[in-house]
Structure 1
Amino acid sequence: MRPLTEDDIRSAIVNASSDEMRVMAVPADVLLADWDHLDFYAWRDPRSRDRGYIVIEVDGEPRGIVLRAANGSSHARAAMCNLCHTMQPADQVTMFSARKAGEAGEHGDSIGTYICADLSCHENVRLAAPLAPNEIRASVDRRIDGTRHRTESFVSRVLETAGSRR
């Protein structure tokens, strides 16, 4: 991923209201990020436990989305992240939703999926050994490629209506 500044990140977010953009907290370590080894940049907002962000390059341009974490808890013992396909204890995977960009989002349309609660998918797939005994054993490179593809696909689904209105 190419290096991004705070301004780049803010201008990449496509599904945020003006109020959400005003209160968005970009991590201070953005300047220290190892962009050569990031497939996407994701973080939880330290000021709001229910908000997170993902920025990824789509068609060579940075595109970002605001995520909302669902409230509540699961009675399951384990859950799988739909981005990195990592099995984890259920409390470490959260349902996140993203309001669609453009007119659809203004009408309340959203998309949801289960994601690692701390949004650390890009780190989890780089672990050499599987995190759970029943996890499919795939090469690290294939896991990285798969995570990037699924993350880009999720962000693209949020952007679907925005592309035709640009």
Structure 2
Amino acid sequence: MQPLTAEEIRRSFVNSSKSLVKAMTLPRDFGELPWESLDYLGWRDPKAPARGYLVVPREAGVTGIAVNTAASGKPRRGTGLCDLCSTAHQITEVSLFVARRAGSAGKAGNTVGTYICADLACSLYVRGLRDPEVPQGDTILPELRTERLTERLETFVGRVLT
């Protein structure tokens, strides 16, 4: 992913109000992000932990999507799978993220959701730069995992935009 400025990120959001985008807190390590290892920029808002952001490079330009997740509630056991990167995690490390649809559909209250790594670090998992606690059963090459992540991101963004 090409490095982006804070202003480029803020302008990219398609499903958020101007006030929400203005109030958005960028990642704490924004100046030190490993852009070359990212397929998208994803982070949880440190001031509003139930809120997250995905900034996805696409052919038409960069698309930003605000997502929300519910509090985890009581501790759960077991494993879960991220729908974007197919990384297995402890169930508490995978969250259902919901995005308001763009345009009039979103204003009418329509949303789409998917299960994503709770830390929104799929790019790092598919490249082996961050290790999940759960042993992974696949032997798929990182290049193929990256390709699949890109395809699934595009599908999710498309669902938000329609």
TM-score by length of 2: 0.89
CA shift for structure 1 position 52: 0.3
| AA in 1 matched with 2:8 | D
Cα contact 1:94–1:114 (8 A) shared by 2:
yes
- In structure 2, what residue type is equivalent to 1:22? K
Paired letter, 1:146: R
How much is the aligned-residue C-alpha RMSD, in angstroms? 2.0
SS in 2 for 1:49: strand
How many angstroms does 1:80 deviate by?
0.2
Q: How does 1:93-104 map to 2 (within 5 A)?
A: 93-104=94-105
Determine if the alignment matches structure 1 residue 54 to structure 2 residue 54.
Answer: yes
Q: Distance in 2 between matches of 1:57 and 1:4?
A: 10
| Counterpart Cα distance in 2 of 1:87 and 1:125 | 11
- Identity level (%): 37
Provide the residue aligned with 1:78 in structure 2.
79
Q: Is the 8 A contact 1:53 1:66 kept in 2?
A: yes
What is the match of residue 89 of structure 2? 88
Normalised to the residue count of structure 1, the TM-score between the two structures is 0.87
Question: Structure 1: any 5+ residue segments left out of the alignment?
Answer: 161-166
CA contact (8 A) 1:86 1:135 kept: no
CA separation in 2, counterparts of 1:2 and 1:134? 29
1:163 aligns to what? Answer: none
- 1:105–1:127: structure 2 CA closer, same or farther, 3 Å change rule? same
1:140 shift after superposition:
1.0
Equivalent residue runs for 1:4-43 within 5 Å: 4-43=4-43
